[in-house]
Amino acid sequence: MKKYVYYFDEGNAGMKDLLGGKGANLAEMTSLDIPVPSGFTITTEVCDVYNRNSKTYPGEVLDNVWKNLERLEKDMGKSFGDSENPLLVSVRSGAKVSMPGMMDTVLNLGLNDETVKGLIKKTKNERFAYDSYRRFINMFGDVVMGIEHRHFEEVLTKIKENKGAKYDTGLDASDLKRVVEEYKKVVKKHAGMPFPDDPKKQLKMAIDAVFNSWMGKRAVAYRRIHDIKGLLGTAVNVQAMVFGNMGNTSATGVAFTRNPSTGENKFYGEFLINAQGEDVVAGIRTPEPISKLRQEMPEAYKQLESIYKKLEAHYKDMQDIEFTIEDGKLYMLQTRTGKRTAHAAIRIAVEMEKEGLIDRNTALLRVDPNQLNQLLHKQLDHVAKQKAKIIGKGLPASPGAAVGQVVFTAERAHDLAEDGHKLILVRTETSPEDIEGMNAAQGILTARGGMTSHAAVVARGMGKCCVAGCSDIMINEGGKSFTAGGTKINELEWITLDGSEGNVYLGQVAVKDPEISGYFQTLMKWADEKRKLKVRANADTPKDSEVAIKFGAEGIGLTRTEHMFFEGDRINAVREMILAEDEAGRRKALAKIEPFQISDFIGIFRVMDNLPVTIRLLDPPLHEFLPKEEGDIREIAKELGVSAERLHNTISALHEFNPMLGFRGCRLGIVYPEIFEMQASAIIKAAIAANKSGKKALPEIEIPVVANVREIEILRDLINSTAQRLIAESGVRVSYKIGTMIELPRACVTADEIAPFVEFMSFGTNDLTQTTYGFSRDDAGKFIQKYIEAGIFEKDPFQTIDRNGVGSLMKLCIEKARGVKEMEVGICGEHGGDPDSVEFCHEIGLDYVSCSPYRVPIARLAAAQAVLKANK
Amino acid sequence: MKKYVYYFDEGNAGMKDLLGGKGANLAEMTSLDIPVPSGFTITTEVCDVYNRNSKTYPGEVLDNVWKNLERLEKDMGKSFGDSENPLLVSVRSGAKVSMPGMMDTVLNLGLNDETVKGLIKKTKNERFAYDSYRRFINMFGDVVMGIEHRHFEEVLTKIKENKGAKYDTGLDASDLKRVVEEYKKVVKKHAGMPFPDDPKKQLKMAIDAVFNSWMGKRAVAYRRIHDIKGLLGTAVNVQAMVFGNMGNTSATGVAFTRNPSTGENKFYGEFLINAQGEDVVAGIRTPEPISKLRQEMPEAYKQLESIYKKLEAHYKDMQDIEFTIEDGKLYMLQTRTGKRTAHAAIRIAVEMEKEGLIDRNTALLRVDPNQLNQLLHKQLDHVAKQKAKIIGKGLPASPGAAVGQVVFTAERAHDLAEDGHKLILVRTETSPEDIEGMNAAQGILTARGGMTSHAAVVARGMGKCCVAGCSDIMINEGGKSFTAGGTKINELEWITLDGSEGNVYLGQVAVKDPEISGYFQTLMKWADEKRKLKVRANADTPKDSEVAIKFGAEGIGLTRTEHMFFEGDRINAVREMILAEDEAGRRKALAKIEPFQISDFIGIFRVMDNLPVTIRLLDPPLHEFLPKEEGDIREIAKELGVSAERLHNTISALHEFNPMLGFRGCRLGIVYPEIFEMQASAIIKAAIAANKSGKKALPEIEIPVVANVREIEILRDLINSTAQRLIAESGVRVSYKIGTMIELPRACVTADEIAPFVEFMSFGTNDLTQTTYGFSRDDAGKFIQKYIEAGIFEKDPFQTIDRNGVGSLMKLCIEKARGVKEMEVGICGEHGGDPDSVEFCHEIGLDYVSCSPYRVPIARLAAAQAVLKANK
């Protein structure tokens, strides 16, 4: 005969398939001789049978439940349905995988008009007993009988009004007794049947409700979205209730086996005498630190101490435990892996490895790479933050914190920063023209745009705090002010941004600098020893490059040359080039830009001595370098010495319906080869200069937006002939590579044609996601929220690589390219700093990932974890 | 010993690999006992040896050349280098595949100061002899010795100036003798060596020049672009010169074995007595019709008659022949397949099949499907066209001809057309709002946009003449005029468009209606018997559907519902829907649109009785339905009863950076399910009504812009539940399918995920090309010309499917989808009417192609040819 029900001492942690996670863990604690309120688990197999047989299960199941219930009564010395010393139980679902919100818990099951008397006797607290009773009816009515919570709420509100009570606490025992009566009427009315008094009937109904919930809409959707397959169903846990509020010999508490904030190896927690578990969390009474329990209940504390040590040693991780002391007797209600800060996670992992509790691989897997973000940026002071006034909430687009005076134009930011002001640049949205201003500001706040808008991407690259798409603010640029949350903020008033949470605060809020600990360095060292993927950074300046090196980058995977086109005097030379009527005119203007490019590259090569530097040739469409607003057009025309009409004509000739799919990247190089020739020349001249000064430049010249092998053939010839001429003239050895960015589906499917002509490929997954999915980052805002709600995207495809779509094109590309010849393949999109995507990059055999300098440590750890996960 | 040189009687037409196309054909004619001036061919193998051995070949090659030359002298009774009766030869290249422009011909080789005297004696024409001589030096100097033509031209110009002669004809024999002397000086100066007098040296140099030209830049590029591979090289043909200008017993002519204009089986051509081949073409003297030759030279004519019949019977195709009669003796200089009009091509193919000259498959392959375009549209009268004034030239965006009065807005076109005016709509570019006006006009002229711009696509769909992207015109919409070629055209002035050639004519030019012959019907019947692909049409109205049926469509592959949204009263209801603030408001507006949609669909279903009709749900972004210009905004706001500010706000909220990658297609259906629900409801209600009236509607409901299987799952449920409810309510049987347009790379790579949820797939290759290549049709104009010049595209990927890129994604999609289940797969992009693309669609196993109604016959023929080509 099949075993349908397991008493807690019959199972263990290895039986999660059959007992679910919760049941297996309770069994495990029981088998460790840790005092757990007794109980039993109905297996997931019963759920499977139930759902496949029109909601019925064999008669033996209930026989077994009653048999185990008898044992439970005996173990607890209480009787189910007894009016003197009643056994009450909790009923909880529990599948192999945790599915939050699938079904709520039913507590205090077993209460009725008779047993409540027993509870009063045992607790000597009539109000508590009736409060438990009315809560049980509500919970049971809602969860088991499907009556909406609001019906109970209405009754309660009315009784409170009659009594003139504002809170539930204003009701006494007799009021609550009336609530119980009224609640029963609610049940009868809405369920069409009276509230079941019989505790066994209650139990049977609760068990069936748990099984039904497995096929409920919410649970089915959850499993689909999270791709949870192959489970039999949920188990049902029936456990004796214990009470920490049975007087001064009772207590309840929560604790962590180590400090979850700092990671220090010291027992940490809180407790309350004569209280229920909820009271510790609710904040009505102030709990005592756990150390005080040693004085108040030395026996129980001693027992607790030995248990927490046993649990940590057993589970080999910091545990978050809940306990209840009922009349001097200690019970463990839960143990689970404790949540912790990034600081704590690192310290605990490193120290546990040193203690020999876990091995190094386990230590590496214990830290969530995304958490490292916290460590590497400024943070708002925890206390100061609580008191500050939030005036708006946007997207946490680039982590960190920033305090500054408000300015509305990049120019003003630049000018005032030179005078020593600390500034926050506030814009409706940013464009490449704003880069200098963004650089000059402490942080950036935009009213429009998503996590991958221009402001967000550039800010992350700069390691600068940014709150994007804050629709709460209304900017009046002309009036030099914005309003937010009913407050008007004028230019030069102070605000504070929290880029990790997306909050905008009024005034100056105290900020803490990031601190990097020795534990962090140790963990990174371990990660570096383990990982196979190289990690590079995306960096456009010598300064960014220095940050990248500091965080452990092994090269630069993407230098965006267009950012250099915007700075200072150059922009006018760029505009002159765009306005030129022939090649000679363009060459003249380009000759003015070249010296700037050369010195930019020399700076980067010197910092990145002997490390590869991938430099992408001009990428954006030319109209991005021209002004948009009438006033600017007139002014700039004057500066350039052309008529406003001429500038207008050029702007309108360059106008694009879909700039993302327009005249950009290598298409510029094909039509105006002199632009790419100048850039190639600047790169090689800079490399020659760097090499002459004793450094070793390793430029990798990258051709963007390639769709067709002929584009590469033509531009490669152009670059090679330029480079070889300059190298021959100089007599200095320079080794350089020519490669391409893979950012269009056609480049992926024709990678075998492209491969013979390149020495490296680097995935530009931002654009590849846009073209593969057919939507632009800038425009997706109109529907992406709905898409996430509808479960169309599991994850935002601009944050985590869409494995089935974009990822499968990447795999195809690598197969085709490496089928022709071995070559270096990397990734330089935003995804390069996303742990999930890094894991995918490892799986498909990339050589490196490249991300913003501040995400380099994240990528290093994620790359190490990818190795460990692949070896599992 | 290898045979390096073949005398013409040693080869045949099957030896093209070795002798090249020209050599093999001359040999073939020789072997048919047709009088061809004798000569010989140096094989392609020699070229191969030459180019692989540092430009040398074995000594035997030249030995063989001289041996064959001796035979040639004997055959012709002339002597190479002789001053009495000199043999002159032509030297021509000729590879297996014709490569136009690879190398020019050298004529009259063998002339020098001595042999020219012989030529004078034989022709009794000193001027002719010196003219031939100086042309030879020029030609040889240019082609063989690499001296630029302009150096010769300068000398000639100077001598003409001195003489006061405007044309070459103003120079007499002694002048030309001086030109010869001066030309020799040019050669010496620029080649650094004297002009070679020795005819044998001339011949050797000419042969080497031909071989060198094989590896020349032009030839290499030509082979690369046309993907010509695996050839050994070019052959060299050395042939005796004959002269048709040796007096009144000489003549020269060109003829066709059948009438190339009508196809009539009647000998057709022209000749000139005492003239050279060039004279017939040059138009200085008016040639006589070939029938007159029968009277003038009955012997030669009789011989010619028997030869042309022999050639046609031998080559089994209409031949274009050149002949020369030298002193009463007939020589054939060339025979090749003759070019012909579409009418002629069809008639010749059908008649030759009836005559038993060719089989039916060959007949089908004889007509270029693209040529059919000529037949199906109005054409300008050939004679009237010659006299008319061209004021501009644009792209031949939609074939046909149109005469009308100029208007500048769609509204005006609509209003005036109702009064019976014939109009040409002239716009900078068109947008969906212009559709009614386009429909009302005879033709459309735009100043901007390419072959796949909105104007072009819509006009082709309507079968309406369109000249697009005519940058010669400058529109002054306010002033109701445009200027073109220095002429100002006011509103209501007449112009004429030739949409097949892209010309814009001033005034009214006579137009011929299309005529469809019985030959055409026969050919189409044969095509239908042969083809495997079904052919459907893209049609949005009952009228289009009727045209489609007339041209043989077997269903509708694409009905674009958005076109129905623009018409008449509906547009305001659509705008009301867009402006609605909640679902209820949207539903209210949609309820107004539904009756229109129902009646649209009923009309189509009735015409397409028992044939499938694929209806695409709303595709374009909503902002396309809103006005753009300030004046319109104010006016429309008033009509809708909202403030201009509110309309402005909606327009700005819906603004997109990249509309192509924006909030459109199924994304609209996910966010506003009520829109798709209304459309599904209208389709099913229309099908019920059509079925009730005794017709059989077969709707295929198509969900556009799908990237993710979840989109399909959600919308399919919505459509199914709507449809099943309506069908159940009506009690009428309706069979319908739900499927998706495949137009994004992600849909291709995840086709196996999508397949289980759809009953058909249809490739939208316009958008698929845009996303795969990463450029938009609207914006590609800025670089596409340069791309075609640089050989990056063999063909415009928007006209012919890019097999390696887009095509390989299509193949992947079909493999993945059909790996899951069998299903109907079609194509409905513009490519569906392109013969090359139709062939590809057949190869990859599509079920049908769908194209504009006017291209249906093209697709039918192309589909038949695809079968024949695949079986080869």
Residue B451 is classified by DSSP as T
* Mean pLDDT for chain B overall: 91
Task: Tell me if B746 and A806 make a contact (CB, 8 A cut-off).
Answer: yes
Q: What are phi and psi of A761, to 5 degrees?
A: -130, 145
Cβ atoms of residues A732 and A751 within 8 Å: no
- The model's pLDDT over A785-821, given as tens digits with 9 standing for 90+, comes to 788 778 888 788 988 999 999 999 999 999 999 999 9
- Using CB atoms, pick whichever of B776, B787, B792 lies closest to residue A657: B776
Residues of A involved in catalysis: 454, 828
Site of tokens 């005029």:
B481
* For chain B, percent of residues with pLDDT exceeding 70: 98
Count interface pairs A-B at CB distance under 8 A. 176
Determine the Cα–Cα distance for residues B318 and B454; give it in Å rounded to an integer. 40
Q: Which residues of B are less than 8 Å from A792 in CB distance?
A: 670, 708, 710-711, 714
Give the minimum alpha-carbon distance from A405 to chain B in angstroms, rounded to a whole number.
29
> Which regions of A477-568 does DSSP assign to beta strands (E)?
481-484, 487-490, 494-498, 503-506, 511-512, 534-538, 556-560
| Residue B828 designated active-site | yes
What's CA A59's distance to the chain center, in Å? Answer: 47
How high is the pLDDT of residue A374?
78
Task: Tell me if B771 and A774 make a contact (CB, 8 A cut-off).
Answer: yes
Amino acid identity for residue B287 in this structure: P
The residue among B834, B864, B848 whose CA lies nearest residue B349 is B864
Determine the Cα–Cα distance for residues B764 and B209; give it in Å rounded to an integer. 50
Residue of A nearest to B225 (CA): A710
Give the minimum alpha-carbon distance from A245 to chain B in angstroms, rounded to a whole number.
50
Task: Tell me if A656 and B779 make a contact (CB, 8 A cut-off).
Answer: yes
Angle at alpha carbon of residue B664, lines to B662 and B669, rounded to 5°: 135
* In A778-807, alpha helices (H): 781-789
Give the minimum alpha-carbon distance from A618 to chain B in angstroms, rounded to a whole number.
16
Give the minimum alpha-carbon distance from B302 to chain A in angstroms, rounded to a whole number.
55
Task: Tell me if B792 and A714 make a contact (CB, 8 A cut-off).
Answer: yes
How high is the pLDDT of residue A244?
86
In chain B, DSSP finds a helix count (H) and a strand count (E) of 36, 33
Q: Tokens in use for B603?
A: 């009309």
A424-428, A516-520, A758-762, B529-533: least confident range: A516-520
What is the enclosing helix (H) or strand (E) of A271?
strand A268-273
Angle at alpha carbon of residue B26, lines to B22 and B30, rounded to 5°: 170
What's CA A136's distance to the chain center, in Å? Answer: 36
Tally of CB atoms within 10 A around A389: 12
The residue among A777, A434, A415 whose CA lies nearest residue A627 is A434
Residue from B377, B454, B623, B831 carrying the catalytic annotation? B454
Determine the Cα–Cα distance for residues A221 and A102; give it in Å rounded to an integer. 10
Banded model confidence at residue B281, pLDDT cuts 50, 70, 90: low
Question: Model pTM greater than 0.90?
Answer: no
- The model's pLDDT over A231-279, given as tens digits with 9 standing for 90+, comes to 889 999 999 998 887 778 889 999 999 998 889 999 999 999 988 766 6
* Mean pLDDT for chain A overall: 91
* For chain A, percent of residues with pLDDT exceeding 90: 68
- The model's pLDDT over A311-339, given as tens digits with 9 standing for 90+, comes to 999 999 999 898 999 889 999 988 888 88
Residue A208, judged by CB atoms within 10 A of its CB (0-12, 13-18, 19+), counts as: middle
Task: Tell me if B658 and A663 make a contact (CB, 8 A cut-off).
Answer: no
The residue among A158, A150, A198 whose CA lies nearest residue A179 is A158
Banded model confidence at residue A116, pLDDT cuts 50, 70, 90: very high
What DSSP letter does each residue of A286-350 carry, written as one string?
PPEETHHHHHH-HHHHHHHHHHHHHHHHHHTS-EEEEEEEETTEEEEEEEEEPP--HHHHHHHHH
Give the minimum alpha-carbon distance from B40 to chain A in angstroms, rounded to a whole number.
40
Task: Tell me if A778 and B657 make a contact (CB, 8 A cut-off).
Answer: yes
Q: Which residues of B are less than 8 Å from A770 in CB distance?
A: 661
What DSSP letter does each residue of B319-370 carry, written as one string?
EEEEEEEETTEEEEEEEEEPP--HHHHHHHHHHHHHHTSS-HHHHHHTS-GG
- Residue B225: pLDDT over 80: no
Banded model confidence at residue B733, pLDDT cuts 50, 70, 90: very high
- Residue B353: pLDDT over 60: yes
Residue B487, judged by CB atoms within 10 A of its CB (0-12, 13-18, 19+), counts as: middle
Task: Tell me if A745 and B774 make a contact (CB, 8 A cut-off).
Answer: yes
Task: Tell me if A804 and B753 make a contact (CB, 8 A cut-off).
Answer: yes
- The model's pLDDT over A639-679, given as tens digits with 9 standing for 90+, comes to 889 999 889 988 888 888 899 999 999 999 999 999 999 99
Helical pair B570-579 and B630-640, crossing angle rounded to 10 deg: 90
- Residue A282: pLDDT over 60: no
Q: Which residues of A are less than 8 Å from B776 in CB distance?
A: 656-658, 661-662
- Residue A497: pLDDT over 60: yes
Q: Which residues of B320-343 are buried (b: 16+ CB within 10 A; e: fewer)?
A: bbbbbbbeeebbbbbbbebebbbb
Q: Which residues of A are less than 8 Å from B670 in CB distance?
A: 783, 786-787, 790, 792
Asked whether the CA dihedral A738, A740, A746, A749 is positive or negative, the reply is positive
- Residue A283: pLDDT over 60: no
Cβ atoms of residues A235 and A41 within 8 Å: yes
Q: Which residues of A are less than 8 Å from B785 in CB distance?
A: none
Q: Which residues of B are less than 8 Å from A226 in CB distance?
A: none
- Using CB atoms, pick whichever of B710, B744, B792 lies closest to residue A791: B710
- Residue B723: pLDDT over 90: yes
The residue among A15, A8, A43 whose CA lies nearest residue A29 is A8
- The model's pLDDT over B423-471, given as tens digits with 9 standing for 90+, comes to 999 998 888 778 888 989 999 999 987 776 788 878 887 888 999 988 8
Q: What are phi and psi of B22, to 5 degrees?
A: -65, -50
* For chain A, percent of residues with pLDDT exceeding 70: 98
Task: Tell me if B711 and A786 make a contact (CB, 8 A cut-off).
Answer: no
Task: Tell me if B745 and A711 make a contact (CB, 8 A cut-off).
Answer: no
Q: Which residues of B are less than 8 Å from A743 in CB distance?
A: 774
- The model's pLDDT over A838-854, given as tens digits with 9 standing for 90+, comes to 999 999 999 999 999 99
Q: Tokens in use for A621?
A: 């469409």
Residue from B748, B828, B841, B851 carrying the catalytic annotation? B828
Site of tokens 């990031």:
A514
Give the list of residues 6+ apart from residue B442 with CB closer than 8 angstroms, or none.
B402, B403, B404, B422, B423, B424, B464, B465
Q: If you average pLDDT over residues A196-217, what whole number do you get?
A: 93
Determine the Cα–Cα distance for residues A534 and A700; give it in Å rounded to an integer. 16
The residue among A608, A626, A768 whose CA lies nearest residue A704 is A768
Secondary structure class of B142 (helix, strand, coil) = helix
Banded model confidence at residue A102, pLDDT cuts 50, 70, 90: low
Secondary structure class of B677 (helix, strand, coil) = helix
Cβ atoms of residues A548 and A556 within 8 Å: yes
Give the minimum alpha-carbon distance from A806 to chain B in angstroms, rounded to a whole number.
7
Site of tokens 């805002």:
A781
What is the enclosing helix (H) or strand (E) of B824?
strand B824-827
